[in-house]
Every structure is written in C-alpha cells, then in structure tokens.
Amino acid sequence: MIRPCMGTTFRKLRKSATVRIRALRISVPCERLSPRFARLVVGSLIFAALLCPERLQAEPSGGTSLDLTTGVMTAYVFRGITRADGASLQPSASLTHENFTLGALSAELWAHVPLEGEAEDSDVFREVDGTLRLSRPFGPITLSVGHVHYFYPRKGDQLPDTAELLAEVQFQSILNPRVTGYHDYRANDSSTVELSLHDRLEYDWFGGVNVSPFVVAAWTASRDPRFERDGIAHITSGLMSEIPLAQVVLVPNVHYTHAIDGATESGFWGGIVISTSFELARTEVSQTR
C-alpha cells in the first residue's frame, strides 16, 4: 500500500424531502425532519442499497487474493504531517475476499519501520495499522465502509493508540474522483475528509510506459489536535508509474506536499514500492436476473 498524503450537510428543501426507490415513494415534511433523523434515514437507505443484490452489476467470478507490498520512502508523511523525517520501510499485507452478496471484504496490516536511528532507541517512531474494509460497486460508483486501528508500539512515542471509522465513494469517470471521510472516535474525536483525483496515461515509449498523476486535498474538522485549525490542511500532488517485472510490480513515486495548516510541511518526498499478488481461491458464479 502506498501512503500518499493522498459533518454532513443537508440542503434545506422548500416543502418536503422525497426519495424514490424504484416504484416506492417516501415523502417526509421537512419541518419535522431533524438533522439526526435525516442522517438516520440516509444511513438506512445506504445500508439497504448495500444489501440489495439486484442493484449490483454482477461479474462472472469472485475469489480470495493476497497482496504483499514493501515500500522504501524518504520519509513517512501522513495527511501532510511529517511523522518521521528519514528513510522509512513500509511493508503491508492485504487479504481480500470477493463475493456477490457483500462485495469485497479486505483486511490489511501496514507498518512504518524507521531505517535511521538505533534499533534499541525507544524514541524511534514506529506504527502498525490494521484496516478492515467492505466495498461494493454500483455501476460506475463504488461505496466503501471500514475501520482503521492505529497502534504505536513504542512507549517513547508518547502517542495514544486510536481508531477511525471510514466511509468512501469512488467514481469511475474522468480523473476518477474519490472522497473519503475519516472519524477518529477514540483519541481525538475529530474528522478528516480527503478528495483525490488521479488518471493513468499510457505511452508507447520503450515498449510501453504508464504515468499516473494524482492530487489529494484534505480538510479537517472538530478541532483535530494534530492540526492548528479546521479547514484545508494540505494539498499533495505527484506522479507514480507501474513497472511490471517478472512476478512483481515496481512503483516509483514522487510527491510534493503544499502545506496550508501550520502543522503540515511543504516539500518533496517519495520512494519505490514493490508489490506482488497471489490468487488463493477462485469461485465461478453464474447468476440469472
């Protein structure tokens, strides 16, 4: 996994809020529609859509795969904040199971291991993250929900373990926009929203070259103590390329973070990632509509 530094608003309607689900029509007077109830209704509709198999565009097969990745980066930058200034080893392992009822369920472990400093030094920053994610496509849109746990094994880091809930929507269209919301409910009681855009450009040079430019912007809310203020925290842009080599893929990448919040830092950083994937099981499924 490459880690690029890559409150809900309800519009007031004049008379009533109307939601159509095929032939079903639900109409609720807005005068009686509290924000809490509106969130409950929207959440219930999303949950119902996730459980409705007829809405999903089925693919001919599913299965289980294991992805292994190791990255060597010039620094560990997280949401525009330089968490470790120095060479960083960032291994990860992700197990994904796909089926037609739930979509894709994945479990991932990711770690930051410093390559500079003494191994016995308790002040050398380390981190291990565990992510559980459920994703399901609806035509060109993919919805995801998940949970991330952040574990800091070194006591000298003076950072409390924390956890976040995440929700994401991704569009398969021009620039492939993706919006991801995170809510830290354990240590900081704060929220972050990231908007990312990326595209893949193919060239015929040297037998085929691909370049993927990307940009990520992040907003923080609820007075996140890691940042100095609410609002836009940083904008990070960069380039990456995938180079197939035997059974692995090399991904050189470079980022530039433009700092906006006082806690973030402007500057270049990057590295190279090596990844490989194993298909553990494959299930052929035939469905009739």
Nearest partner of 46 among 124, 119, 141, judged by Cα: 141
**Residue 23, in any domain of the structure:** no
Query: Three-state DSSP class for 53?
Result: helix
Confidence of residue 224 (pLDDT cuts 50, 70, 90): confident
**Residue 236, in any domain of the structure:** yes
> What are the residues facing 65 on neighbouring strands?
96, 279
Confidence of residue 207 (pLDDT cuts 50, 70, 90): low
Q: Provide the b/e sequence for 3-38 (b: ≥16 CB within 10 Å).
A: bbbbeeeeeeeeeebeeeeeeeeeeeeeeebeeeee
- What is d(CA 237, CA 216) in angstroms, rounded to the nearest whole number? 6
**Residue 31, in any domain of the structure:** no
Range of the domain at 145: 61-282
**Residue 179, in any domain of the structure:** yes
Q: Which residues contact 71 (CB under 8 A, 6 or more apart)?
A: 1, 2, 3, 89, 90, 91, 92, 271, 272, 273, 274
- What is d(CA 131, CA 46) in angstroms, rounded to the nearest whole number? 21
**Residue 137, in any domain of the structure:** yes
pLDDT above 80: residue 60:
no
Domain count, the chain: 1
More confident residue, 51 or 87: 87
For the chain, give the number of residues.
289
pLDDT in tens, 257-280: 999 999 999 999 999 999 999 998
CATH code for the domain of 154: 2.40.230.20
**Residue 142, in any domain of the structure:** yes
More confident residue, 126 or 48: 126
Q: Quote the strand ranges of 86-177, DSSP E.
A: 88-99, 103-114, 127-138, 141-151, 162-171
pTM above 0.85, yes or no: no
More confident residue, 261 or 37: 261
Provide the pLDDT for residue 144. Answer: 96
pLDDT in tens, 140-156: 999 999 999 999 887 66
pLDDT above 60: residue 61:
no
Considering only the C-alpha atoms of the chain, give the largest distance between any 2 of them, rounded to a whole number of Å: 66
**Residue 1, in any domain of the structure:** no
Provide the pLDDT for residue 47. Answer: 53
- What is d(CA 256, CA 213) in angstroms, rounded to the nearest whole number? 12
Provide the pLDDT for residue 188. Answer: 84
pLDDT above 60: residue 1:
no
- What is d(CA 289, CA 168) in angstroms, rounded to the nearest whole number? 28
**Residue 20, in any domain of the structure:** no
pLDDT in tens, 83-105: 888 899 999 999 999 986 778 99
Least confident of 33-37, 50-54, 178-182, 283-287: 33-37
Query: Three-state DSSP class for 268?
Result: strand
